[in-house]
């Protein structure tokens, strides 16, 4: 595998106030042209600021996926429609200048069309993504995007028999290979069973291998979005339909190539049905997710699943106005330990809400009602966390109060701090995979259960001064 060369630098953020973080996200609709918005939400001040109105041809429309923060420090995202050809776009947003730049227009056959998920950055430095349609068979493609040259390259065409209409994201496992799901296809001539599949893709050879063909019935059909690696090192995902109820949670072990149904949703013991989003692996080792329907008000639920004990627990019933309803997206965990999410409907205006869930107090509170002006109907998306732009920056030298080694590493590394600090490790999707306070001295940390790739280690002392470092797990 091509080695990714990183120039590692320390950033010391000195401020008289505690460091602040912001949540960034997108809505599929709303804004001036009702083509969606890009927004920022300040956790500390509970203020939402619209940063961009998507307008169609000029900068894309219908941003269904999530933003990611790439290794160059900029945000990247996609729109499902709009752009020069009407087939969607790839764009870049520079946090330091507040500048949006459209980087690529999807064109159908050559590069695919209608991306409905999110980008991810692999260990080779490229951003990889999926489109629902386009390619030579108009059944979707896998592509890679170079953030240095802004060149987009189609690397695989789906044809039905090898899957069709991939609706989500790819994930890189510790074996260096990419894994994903397709909504349909996978079996028979032209993918005639149309139930979907779980596939493995080699970014070195551009070869795709079907690993699990979904046949419907008890093993489910029509999976949406992406897989997640849990604390046990295995991949987990959700299926929209099928099982003994109405959707399910499954486990996939790449080393054994085994697919196991873990939870059947939509039955009395496991309320909540039809999950359209992905699971997240939180700092407590549990998986959290949402369903679009089911629960007390049939507006969906927020649930917790323990991959170790195999216990499913409904936590919150979405009720419509007070907590939002019918979520079609994915949660995220902030550095403050709380979990944030979006609902597609509900709230005061029935345009969806932004909410906060505290896993300590078990309370969920609505933080923002979308009102169309600030966006509406966020779908197939999640928030990401980005530190606020510091007022003063100093580069650490050999006298730094922090050292971290080795880098790159295999997921096991040592952190040496000279003051009691709080450490948060996030991936390129903005998801928190480690969140803990550490004492002074050398301590060994491990993210070996995570996929190979780039991670961000943020260390904050008691006064709010922060140091952020990029590490490469390979």
Q: Clarify whether residues 85 and 40 are in a common domain.
A: yes
* 10, part of any domain: no
Strand ordering across the sheet containing 287-290: 280-281, 287-290, 301-306, 311-317
Domain stops at, among 387, 414, 439: 387
Domains: count for the chain: 2
Q: Kindly state whether residues 352 and 433 are assigned to the same domain.
A: no
Q: Is 464 found in the same domain as 329?
A: no
Determine how many CB atoms are found less than 10 A away from the CB of residue 124. Answer: 17
- Whether residues 245 and 316 share a domain: the answer is yes
Residue 3 reports pLDDT greater than 90: no
- Domain match, 344 and 419 both: no
Domain-embedded: residue 2: no
Query: 415 and 277: one domain?
Result: no
pLDDT digits (tens, 9 = 90+) for 174-188: 889 999 999 999 875
Is 80 exceeded by the pLDDT of residue 336?
A: yes
Helices H, strands E: what count in the chain?
0, 38
Spell out the residues 6+ positions from residue 173 whose beta carbon is closer than 8 angstroms to its own: 179, 229, 235, 254, 451, 452
Q: State the DSSP code for 350.
A: T
Same-domain status, 413 and 325: no
* pLDDT tens digits, one per residue of 374-388: 999 999 999 999 976
% of residues, the chain, pLDDT over 90: 73
- Domain annotation covers residue 8: no
pLDDT band at 63 (very low <50, low <70, confident <90, very high): very high
CA of 338: how far to CAs of 109, 306, 362, 364, 370, in Å? 43, 18, 10, 10, 21
SS3 percent helix, strand, coil of the chain, rounded to 5, is 0, 45, 50
Q: What pLDDT score does 401 carry?
A: 61
Give the Cα separation of 303 and 256 in Å (integer).
28
| 340 beta partners | 332, 356
Same domain, 90 and 202: yes
For residue 131, the number of C-alpha atoms closer than 13 Å in the C-beta half-sphere is: 38
355 belongs to a structural domain: yes
58 pLDDT higher than 80: yes
Residue 66 domain flag: yes
- Lowest mean pLDDT segment, chosen from 131-140, 226-235, 293-302, 416-425: 416-425
The pLDDT score that the predictor gives to residue 397 is 35
The model's confidence at residue 5, banded by pLDDT at 50, 70 and 90, is very low
Measure the CA–CA gap between 199 and 322, rounded to whole angstroms: 39
Per-residue pLDDT, 225: 86
Q: Residue 379: its pLDDT value, please?
A: 95
For residue 239, being part of any structural domain is answered with yes
Domain range for 448 is 397-473
Indicate whether 6 belongs to any domain: no
| DSSP per position, 291-311 | -SB-STTSS-EEEEEETTTTE
Q: How far apart are CA 340 and CA 381, in angstroms?
A: 12
Q: Which of 122, 124, 129, 123 is closest to 103 using CA atoms?
A: 129
Q: For all residues of the chain together, what is the average pLDDT?
A: 89
**Residue 15 falls inside a structural domain:** no
Q: What is the CATH number of the domain that holds 316?
A: 2.120.10.80
pLDDT on residue 394: 35
Residue 429 sits in a domain whose CATH number is: 2.60.40.3080
Query: Measured in Å, how far apart are the chain's first and last C-alpha atoms?
Result: 10
Mean pLDDT of the region 382-400: 58
Last residue of a domain, one of 357, 387, 417: 387
Q: Do 350 and 469 reside in the same domain of the chain?
A: no
* Residue 452: per-residue pLDDT: 81
Q: What is the pLDDT of residues 9-24, one digit of tens each?
A: 333 333 333 446 799 9
By residue count, the chain amounts to 474
Find where tokens 């059944």 sit. 139
| Cα angle 461-283-464, degrees, rounded to a multiple of 5 | 15
Both tokens of 387, joined, read: 């530190």
233 and 319: one domain?
yes
Q: Name residue 413's beta-bridge partners.
A: 445
Lowest mean pLDDT among 42-56, 102-116, 424-438, 455-469: 455-469
The string of DSSP codes covering 396-438 is: --TT-SEEEESSSBSSEEEEEESS-EEEEEEETTS-EEEEEEE
Q: Are residues 367 and 420 in the same domain?
A: no
Question: What does the pLDDT average to over 49-64?
Answer: 96
422: burial class by Cβ within 10 Å (0-12, 13-18, 19+)? Answer: middle
Residue (of 188, 210, 192) closest to 201 by Cα position: 210
Alpha helix (H) residue ranges in 8-144: none
Going edge to edge, which strands form the sheet with 141-145? 120-121, 127-131, 141-145, 152-157
Integer Cα distance of 275 and 300 in angstroms: 9
Please report, to the nearest 10 degrees, the dihedral formed by the alpha carbons of residues 76, 82, 85, 87 taken in order.
70
pLDDT, one tens digit per residue, over 293-319 is 999 999 999 999 999 999 999 999 999
Least confident stretch, 197-206, 306-315, 394-403, 456-465: 394-403
Same domain, 34 and 66: yes
Beta carbons of 19 and 387 less than 8 angstroms apart: yes
* Boundary-marking domain end, from 336, 357, 387: 387
The arithmetic mean of pLDDT across residues 143-153, rounded, is: 97
pLDDT surpassing 60 at residue 216: yes
């Amino acid at each position: 595998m091509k080695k990714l060369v990183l120039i590692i630098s320390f950033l010391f953020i000195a401020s008289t106030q505690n460091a602040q973080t912001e949540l960034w996200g997108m809505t599929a609709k709303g804004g001036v042209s009702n083509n969606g918005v890009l927004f920022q939400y300040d956790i500390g001040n509970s203020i939402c600021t619209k940063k961009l109105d998507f307008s169609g041809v000029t900068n894309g429309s219908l941003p269904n996926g999530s933003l990611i923060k790439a290794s160059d420090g900029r945000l990247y995202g996609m729109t499902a429609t709009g752009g020069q050809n009407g087939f969607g776009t790839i764009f870049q947003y520079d946090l330091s200048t507040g500048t949006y730049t459209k980087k690529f227009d999807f064109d159908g056959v050559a590069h695919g069309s209608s991306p409905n998920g999110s980008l991810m950055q692999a260990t080779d430095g490229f951003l990889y993504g999926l489109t629902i349609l386009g390619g030579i068979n108009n059944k979707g493609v896998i592509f890679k995007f170079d953030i240095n040259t802004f060149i987009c390259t189609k690397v695989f065409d789906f044809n039905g028999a090898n899957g069709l209409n991939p609706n989500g994201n790819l994930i890189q496992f510790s074996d260096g290979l990419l894994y994903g799901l397709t909504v349909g296809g996978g079996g028979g001539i032209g993918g005639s069973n149309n139930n979907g599949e779980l596939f493995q893709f080699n970014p070195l050879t551009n070869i795709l291998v079907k690993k699990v063909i979904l046949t419907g019935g008890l093993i489910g059909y029509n999976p949406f979005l992406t897989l997640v690696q849990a604390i046990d090192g295995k991949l987990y995902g959700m299926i929209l339909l099928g099982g003994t109820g109405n959707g399910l949670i499954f486990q996939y072990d790449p080393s054994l190539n085994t697919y196991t149904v873990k939870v059947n949703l939509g039955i009395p013991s496991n309320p909540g049905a039809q999950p359209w989003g992905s699971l997240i692996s939180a700092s407590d080792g549990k998986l959290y997710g949402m369903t679009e329907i089911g629960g007390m008000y049939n507006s969906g639920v927020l649930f917790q699943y323990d991959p170790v004990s195999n216990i499913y627990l409904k936590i919150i019933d979405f009720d419509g106005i007070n907590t939002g309803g019918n979520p079609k997206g994915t949660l995220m965990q902030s550095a403050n330990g709380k979990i944030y999410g979006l609902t597609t409907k509900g709230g005061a205006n029935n345009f969806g809400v932004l909410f906060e869930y505290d896993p300590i107090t078990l309370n969920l509170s609505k933080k923002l009602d979308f009102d169309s002006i600030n966006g509406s109907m966020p779908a197939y998306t999640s928030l990401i966390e980005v530190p606020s732009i510091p007022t003063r920056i100093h580069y650490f030298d050999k006298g730094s109060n922090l050292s971290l080694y080795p880098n790159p590493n295999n997921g096991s590394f040592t952190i040496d701090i000279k003051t009691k600090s709080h450490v948060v490790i996030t991936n390129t999707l903005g998801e928190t995979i480690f969140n803990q306070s550490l004492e002074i001295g050398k301590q060994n940390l491990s993210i070996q259960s995570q996929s190979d790739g780039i991670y961000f280690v943020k260390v904050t002392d008691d006064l709010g001064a922060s140091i952020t470092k990029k590490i490469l797990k390979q």
